Amino acid sequence: MSSHNSKLSRRAFGGAVGAGAAAAAAGLGAAPAHASNRSAGPSGSASADAREAAPGEREFRADRERRSRRPNILVILGDDLGWADLSSYGAPHIRTPHLDRLARQGVRFTDAYAGSATCSPTRFSLYTGRYPGRTKGGLAEPIADRTAGLDPTHPTLASLLRDAGYATALIGKWHAGYLPDYSPTRSGWEEFFGNFGGALEYYSKLGLGGEYDLYEGDTEYKDLRYYTRIITERAAAYVSRDHHGKPWLLNLNFTTPHWPWIAEGDTAESAEIVRRIKAGDARALWHQDGGSVEKYRQMVEDLDRSVGRVLEALKRSGQEEDTLVVFSSDNGGERFSYNWPLSGNKASLQEGGIRVPNILRWPARVDGGQVSRVPVFSPDWTATLLEVAGTRPHRAYPLDGVSLAGYLLRGEEPAGRDLFWRVRGERALRRGNWKYYRGRSGRDQLFDLAADLREQADRAAAEPALLAQLRAAWERTDAGLLPYPS
């Protein structure tokens, strides 16, 4: 992948290109007068197969004639949300009208992936634009104690945008290290409101170790209301704020629909989990004796309503046109997720563990009602957002993601490259429609995802040369990463 990265660097960020020139290369400039209410895109019911265009959707095509100012950037993550958990991605029993509307107003990606199969490594890949295995903290899958975290000296999306003149904030789940050594405010986000750990009980805010885990900056903040409601209010207030003419980046990281399986109003279930935590039950938050498909539906639909409230606040603020919104999940679905037809779940490098719903909306530059089948993954969004903001990565920390700005804004062919994943005990690499996979059985497998999205028809014996090529490509990339500690 390094050859593609160098090509990207030369084209978009290389040499002595400054922020202004990079912005011009991205097609940014003086903002034109836009219609105040661009079409929200076609209407229509959800597709029965998330790979197929829904009624009214068309194949993606860039509009190369538009120009705009540097956008505000809103990156929204669901937590453990599966690929087919939105009605616009095929869920038969979950209704997500606000996210479906977002898709109709922008581009729905069918072949989008998380940077890893669990929470914190994917966040590392999004925050840094690099494989999790390039940093010591990214080797934890996920971070579960205070010994690992995102090195505050490592450039991040937030620090690079801050230095380029953006206001930066993170609201919600951080999960890239704990105080006193690690914090969003040490890694480029000027404001932080949320939780540090991987999970918390939605009312009490007690984390995996029984600690209270709701902070404003680096100071505890007491609010015992339902967590999703709290961060939704905060995010709506942030996008509504007068930013004094400065563009902004907001990372909005929901914990919904991550366990424990508590919807708003489930105060009795909340109290029981809190009782168990305080009694020393270290696995109480895992809630392995609770939840249901119905409870999960309630949580996903609440996530949808919450995103809708933030987007409505953005619209009322008058900034909708010039705000680039990316919605995704940090990894594939878990126990109650609707993942059909994918195999595997969170923590696996099968498609069900890493393929995620992914939507982009930028009314000033990108038409609505479109679908893209281009394979993308989390670090690509880091590279893309830096380019559209008119800045570039740090030369000492080259990105593993490839910017999609040329594809989205200038009609360029997307880069042909490999997508690489590594977790303990598993490996995977996608090239075109072919996927090389080795699970915990230790057996190399090869799947044609165009014909076999469920990864059941192993083509390894029929395509030995291709299997060898993909295995060698995976091993070359792996050789450049940090080894796992023994």
The two tokens of residue 238 are 């942030």
Measuring CA to CA, which residue among 167, 164, 155 is closest to residue 28?
Answer: 164
> Phi and psi (nearest 5°) for 187?
-125, 25
DSSP states of 418-442: EEEEEETTEEEEEETTEEEEE-TT-
Is residue 448 helix, strand or coil? Answer: strand
Please check whether residue 1 is in contact with residue 40, taking contact to mean a CB–CB distance below 8 angstroms.
no
> Phi and psi (nearest 5°) for 223?
-160, 115
> Phi and psi (nearest 5°) for 314?
-60, -45
The two tokens of residue 73 are 């950037």
The two tokens of residue 7 are 């090509």
Residues 6 or more apart whose Cβ sits within 8 Å of residue 397: 128, 130, 154, 155
Hey, what's the torsion of the CAs at 197, 98, 46, 260, to 10 degrees?
Answer: 30
Instruction: Name the region of 219 (left: φ>0; alpha: ψ -120 to 50; beta: rest).
Output: beta
Hey, what's the torsion of the CAs at 156, 193, 136, 10, to 10 degrees?
Answer: -10
Active-site residue list: 119, 175
DSSP states of 145-189: STT----TTS--HHHHHHHTT-EEEEEEE--S--TTT--GGGTT-
Cα 257 to the center of its chain, rounded Å: 14
